[in-house]
């Protein structure tokens, strides 16, 4: 059984961009291919196949692409699309265009296509639930007010999904990415002009207990289907797959890029209240919403576009920092390799800023001003006041370590560690603040000095 899609984006001036033909089909998804992971306690919960456990393979429904409107020949995915996994084909359009999607439903139940980030006519809403064996054509407009602003990247990330029963449809696998781009941002092939690579990541806990195909999966993959208790908490937990694009524990292929290249990451969230994700890119940073960071927050049906220029070579992790999501398998590897085409020319850095920082030994008083103590006890009897502020403090000084204490603090110097830069008192305890510009390299000269100061530094 399959669902068929035929799509193309048409400019409002009748300029044809391209013809695309999609399908959604049933297939068996294996979230983990490497058998040695079965011995790992963290993955054993999800990938043990037994009398009452399904294991790591599930029957899913996905959107697939066809070469034409006859829906007879699949369009093969390119090598650079291998990372998409169970995601549907990428739908792309520029502002001012119209997207037309012809959807054929060859499944046994109604499904649909519901997009975010575009506008559509009322008839598309009323007739959007496509019955089995029928075909429907969607038309979505991409007006200027949904496109990128001047501060945004060239293309904004959105998603589409089946919304007849949004929870069960998406749990079954029916979801895909959609890009809305500024005018002139796309090549005739649909790829972005100003980036070298683009990757689409859907971080979600696929709850197979909510899938339309749970009964099919029990019959296909368990050894004793009649012994299954669907309400058993351990059984339900074993079917909650913490995945990125349907892959777990580093099995996602195709996340490879060149050092110094322009990489566009399109991040998407889906699911329920458990799908609160912090997607962390180890060893490299990205720019999003005008800030540079290494972690992105994702929630159900939220999206994010992040632009990265990786400057560290090697194999690094992209993962969810939510503890049980990470141990549950929501972690993949991306590879940054040296490619002559995109090598970074260090001569592009015209300015260099040098910081002189020393770790200085000081005597630090955590409470240099004790007037608060007198104010607090000024109404107490004279004898008690004398005991508390005098005798008690003397006794404490003999039995405990009290201020001032010897510490090492970072301090900034104006040159080669001879002239100390004055810092405001409230900031003295902190590492000196350093300001730098993007593309400006920093050199930090660090020294350890011994110096005694009485009282507060």
Q: State both tokens at 239.
A: 């079917």
DSSP code per residue over 78-118: PGGGGGGTTPPPPEEEETTEEEEEEEEE-SSS-B--EESSS
CA-nearest of 202, 214, 273, 298 to 243 is: 202
Q: Under a CB-based contact definition with an 8 Å cutoff, are residues 306 and 286 in contact?
A: yes
Lookup result for tokens 């996905």: 62
Structure-token match 């092939």, residue found: 189
Query: Which alpha helices (DSSP H) does 48-195 contain, by range?
Result: 122-126, 166-171
Name the H helices within 166-213: 166-171
Q: How many helices (H) and strands (E) does the chain have?
A: 9, 24
Residues 6 or more apart whose CB falls under 8 angstroms from that of 370 comprise none
Three-class SS state of 39 = helix
Residues 6+ apart with CB under 8 A from 441: 349, 352, 353
- At a CB cut-off of 8 Å and minimum separation 6, what does 337 contact? 256, 257, 258, 259, 313
Q: Among residues 366, 368, 405, 372, which one has the least CA distance to residue 389?
A: 372
Q: Which of 320, 339, 435, 436 is catalytic?
A: 320
Catalytic residue list contains 320: yes
Catalytic residue list: 320
């Amino acid at each position: 059984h399959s669902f068929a899609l035929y799509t193309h984006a048409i400019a409002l001036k009748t300029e044809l961009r391209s013809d695309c033909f999609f399908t959604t089909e049933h297939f068996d998804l294996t979230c983990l291919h490497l058998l040695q992971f079965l011995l790992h306690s963290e993955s054993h919960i999800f990938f043990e196949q037994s009398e009452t456990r399904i294991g790591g393979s599930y029957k899913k429904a996905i959107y697939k692409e066809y070469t034409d409107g006859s829906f007879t020949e699949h369009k093969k995915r390119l090598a650079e699309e291998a990372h998409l996994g169970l995601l549907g084909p990428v739908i792309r359009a520029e502002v001012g265009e119209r997207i037309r999607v012809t959807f054929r439903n060859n499944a046994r139940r109604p499904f649909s296509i519901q997009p975010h980030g575009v506008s559509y006519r009322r008839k598309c809403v009323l007739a959007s639930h496509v019955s089995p064996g029928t075909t429907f054509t969607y038309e979505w407009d991409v007006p200027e007010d949904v496109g990128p602003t001047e501060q945004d990247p060239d293309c904004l990330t959105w998603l589409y999904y089946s919304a007849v029963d949004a929870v069960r449809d998406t749990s079954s696998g029916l979801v895909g990415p959609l890009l809305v781009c500024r005018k002139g941002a796309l090549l005739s092939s649909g790829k972005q002009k100003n980036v070298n690579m683009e990757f689409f990541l859907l971080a979600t806990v696929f709850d197979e207990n909510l899938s339309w195909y749970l009964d099919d999966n029990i019959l296909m993959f368990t050894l004793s289907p009649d012994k299954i208790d669907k309400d058993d908490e351990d059984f339900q937990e074993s079917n909650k797959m913490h995945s990125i694009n349907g892959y777990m524990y580093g099995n996602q292929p195709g996340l490879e890029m060149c050092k110094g290249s322009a990489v566009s990451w399109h991040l998407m969230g889906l699911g329920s209240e458990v799908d609160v994700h912090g997607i962390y890119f180890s060893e490299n940073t990205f720019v999003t919403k005008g800030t540079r960071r290494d972690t992105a927050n994702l929630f159900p049906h939220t999206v994010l576009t992040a632009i990265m220029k990786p400057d560290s070579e090697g194999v690094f992790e992209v993962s969810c920092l939510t503890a049980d999501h990470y141990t549950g398998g929501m972690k993949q590897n991306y590879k940054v390799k040296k490619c002559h085409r995109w090598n970074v020319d260090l001569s592009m850095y015209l300015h260099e800023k040098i910081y002189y920082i020393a770790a200085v030994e000081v005597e630090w008083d955590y409470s240099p001003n004790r007037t608060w103590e007198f104010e607090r006890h000024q109404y107490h009897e004279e004898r008690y006041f004398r005991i508390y502020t005098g005798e008690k403090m003397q006794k404490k000084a003999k039995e405990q370590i009290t201020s001032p204490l010897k510490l090492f603090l970072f301090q900034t110097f104006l040159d080669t560690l001879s002239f100390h830069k004055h810092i405001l008192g409230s900031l003295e305890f902190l590492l000196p603040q350093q300001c730098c510009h993007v593309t400006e390299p920093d050199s930090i000269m660090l020294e350890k000095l011994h110096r005694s100061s009485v009282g507060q530094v």
